[in-house]
Structure 1
Amino acid sequence: MNRTIARKTIFRTLVIIGLIIAGYFIIPVSVPIILAGITAFLLEPIVMFFKRKWKMSRKIAVAVIYLVSAVFISVMCYFTITQLMSQIISISKQTPYYISKLSDMWLQMQGHISQFTEDFPTEVRTSLQNTTSDFVKKVEESFLSFFNYNKVTSFLAEIPSLFISLLVYMIALFLFMLDLPKLKRIVYKYLKPTTANKMKIITTRLKDAFFGFMKAQVLVSFIIGAVALIGLFIIQPKYAITMAIIIWIIDVIPFLGSIIILAPWGTYHLLMGHTSLAIKLFILATILLIIRRTVEPKVMGAHIGLSPLPTLIAMFVGLQLFGIVGLLIGPFIIILYFALKETGIIKLNFKI
């Protein structure tokens, strides 16, 4: 009996190790397919809604939603790849000009620093000037490195492979959306009834959290767009409506936010010598960032089923561990934990 148990344990251990090794080699090259499966899973409630609301067959509902998704992804790719890359190339070509403007500004700043520190001891004045010089030099090197023309063109050379990955993603997404009920039946066939019920609860919680997250993003983006419109009418009335719409569209996209528009815009005016306008844009960017960081946890917590404090902690810890993507991963891990606890998979009933 003990030998049989030991053999089963060894066999299961070897299977788990084999799956881990296979996943280590297969997952990196299967990212488009995995993302397509996740996207199809998240779009499934919309497919079911279309079927119930308008009495559509699954194929027609999938075709409509897939067409809308394809148009949205195509528009996003157009703006991000063509427009953004062309602007980066243009900036990279003009980098020497911007560096010269930065150097002129530094010379003026150096004169102000010299006047401000003329009464300081010689050692303190020299140390302060050396520190600021090193800082400006590092800023110049970082600017040149980021907007390096060769680096940008080498990135553009990778676009064909990215396009192939996108094509695979789109094809796999359509096939997953069509066959998702069949795939669910195949998976549930190998699960016990209790395990299948727990799996349904967990997936329902995650889907609700995802759509709650998207609702929260849209709501916060409307607040950001309204504040941006008011601020830009005060700062730059000529471009207020256009730029506010752009900021609102960008802010809807998770992890980007309005600062991706206002920071380069303010930097451009700073390099052009429009210091007052640049400072106003930086102040507006700071205000919008503060609004997002204070309002977002409360709104997101209300929509994904968490109170503001756990949401804030999860977003902060996720940001520290996983970077900007952690703002989404953190709350989802908390939701997954509560779902696993609700289904009894995780049991933490103890007292100290």
Structure 2
Amino acid sequence: MTFKDNNKVKMLGVVMLTVFGVYIGLEYMLPLFAPFIIAYLIAAALSPVVKFLNRTTRLPKLLGAIISLSLLIAVIGFILYNLGDMLLNQVVALLKNFPIYLSVLTGYIDKLCEGCDKCLGIKLGTVQNFIYTNFDGVLVIIKNKIMPVITTRSINLLIGMLGFIGILLIMLVSILLLIKDDEQYREGVRNSVFYKDIHLVTSKLSGMGIAYLKTQGIMLLLISLICTVSMFLIHNKYALLVGIGIGVVDAFPILGSGMILIPWAVINLFQKDIYSAAILFTAYVGCQLLRQTVEPKLFGNRIGIKPVYTMMAMYVGVKLFGFFGFLLGPVGLVLIVTIIKEARSRLGDA
């Protein structure tokens, strides 16, 4: 076997081990260390504030950390409280008006059924009778099968919330300890024999994280703008609020703007409001074009990876890791590419 062939075999082994190691790390190791990684990121963000307070007011670092963290929690709590209050008020209003909405929906269903009867050339009321007959069966299934599952999961959710509170307390203590003794921790990391290799990977991941957040921010702004303009064009009284809301929903890969825009456009079609339906369909197409062209280009270019590979990584990530896979997929790709590039350079130097 020649030297070149030997290097190819080694690289193949490195690639296989890297892919396997990254998968094991993201699937099994990351959940164990995630609270401490988040604590480190928050501590790194608060550290400059604590150092400023220590330098200007001689405030002990631990006390400065407690004050800074308390202010951060207060701001986040204030935002979440107001959002929760707004959401609760809207839910209450929706429940109060639910009979009206149900009546309107029933009217739409009746018209749809009548249209199906005419289209299929069958007796009027056939489709309607079929739907309402089977609807009773659906209610029985919901009562006997789905509701017990929801009840069981509600108990599991309560247990999970108690566990989350415990994890949150651990994170808060970790943040304070990291800020208090940050210099000692940094010195210990720098003196580690693995510092150079770890720093190479973490610097790449840090750049990717900033690129991802900037990309999502730009995409949220652009999609909210498209949706807001479309709401103005169809003379919606809540154009800005609805446009921003659809933009936020679109940020979630499993949901997307189509979850709102497509049904809305279909309803307008049945109401023979062709203009509004066309505007909503156009807005949806515009959002999709942005997601499939601009987003991969922005994100991929900033981390040095081709857009198509970024999209593939997001898809594979969602398949492997579920909802958070759209973030973990690109993270895994950056890890794999960084490690393989470093291994290739070292094999070339050997």
Same fold? TM cut 0.5: yes
Q: Secondary structure at the match of 1:344?
A: helix
Q: Deviations over 1:274-331 (max 9, x none)?
A: 7849856853455434423432111111233322121111112222222331111111
Aligned to 1:74: 77
Aligned to 2:317: 318
| Distance change in 2, residues 1:198/1:44 (3 Å) | farther
1:113 aligned to which of 111, 116, 136: 116
The residue type equivalent to 2:116 in the other structure is I
The residue type equivalent to 1:217 in the other structure is Q
Q: Secondary structure at the match of 1:305?
A: coil
Alignment of structure 1 residues 244-263 onto 2, 5 Å = 244-247=243-246, 250=248, 259=257, 262=260
Aligned to 2:230: 231
Aligned to 1:39: 38
CA distance in 2 between partners of 1:151 and 1:90 (Å): 28
Aligned to 1:182: 184
What's the CA shift for 1:43? 4.6
Aligned to 2:175: 173
CA distance in 2 between partners of 1:140 and 1:263 (Å): 31
Larger RCO: Structure 1 or Structure 2 (Cα < 8 Å, ≥ 6 residues apart)? 2
What's the CA shift for 1:48? 6.9
Point out the more displaced range, 326-335 or 83-92. 83-92
CA distance in 1 between partners of 2:196 and 2:217 (Å): 32
| Distance change in 2, residues 1:335/1:187 (3 Å) | same
RMSD: 5.4
Q: Is the 8 A contact 2:35 2:171 kept in 1?
A: yes
Alignment of structure 1 residues 1-352 onto 2, 5 Å = 34-43=33-42, 46=45, 59=61, 66=69, 69-71=72-74, 73-79=76-82, 81-84=84-87, 87-88=90-91, 91=94, 98-99=101-102, 101-118=104-121, 161=162, 165-186=167-188, 191-192=192-193, 195-247=194-246, 250=248, 259=257, 262=260, 266=264, 276=273, 279=277, 283=281, 284-285=283-284, 287-344=286-343
What count of residue pairs does the alignment treat as equivalent?
310
| Distance change in 2, residues 1:240/1:92 (3 Å) | closer
Q: Is the 8 A contact 1:266 1:281 kept in 2?
A: no
| Distance change in 2, residues 1:116/1:91 (3 Å) | same
CA distance in 1 between partners of 2:279 and 2:347 (Å): 50
Gaps of 5+ in 2: 1-23
Q: Is the 8 A contact 1:247 1:261 kept in 2?
A: no
Q: Secondary structure at the match of 2:343?
A: coil
TM-score (norm 1): 0.63
Q: Secondary structure at the match of 1:297?
A: helix
CA distance in 1 between partners of 2:71 and 2:287 (Å): 30
Q: Is the 8 A contact 1:36 1:169 kept in 2?
A: yes
| Distance change in 2, residues 1:56/1:234 (3 Å) | farther
Q: Secondary structure at the match of 2:299?
A: helix
Q: Is the 8 A contact 2:233 2:279 kept in 1?
A: no
What's the CA shift for 1:136? 11
CA distance in 1 between partners of 2:186 and 2:311 (Å): 34
| Distance change in 2, residues 1:266/1:54 (3 Å) | farther
| Distance change in 2, residues 1:40/1:84 (3 Å) | same
CA distance in 1 between partners of 2:293 and 2:99 (Å): 39
Q: Is the 8 A contact 2:46 2:69 kept in 1?
A: no
Q: Is the 8 A contact 2:317 2:329 kept in 1?
A: yes
Q: Is the 8 A contact 2:47 2:179 kept in 1?
A: no
The residue type equivalent to 2:335 in the other structure is L
Gaps of 5+ in 1: 1-19, 121-125
The residue type equivalent to 1:259 in the other structure is S
Percentage of matched positions with identical amino acids: 19
Q: Is the 8 A contact 2:53 2:64 kept in 1?
A: no
The residue type equivalent to 1:314 in the other structure is A
CA distance in 1 between partners of 2:99 and 2:207 (Å): 50
Q: Secondary structure at the match of 2:238?
A: helix
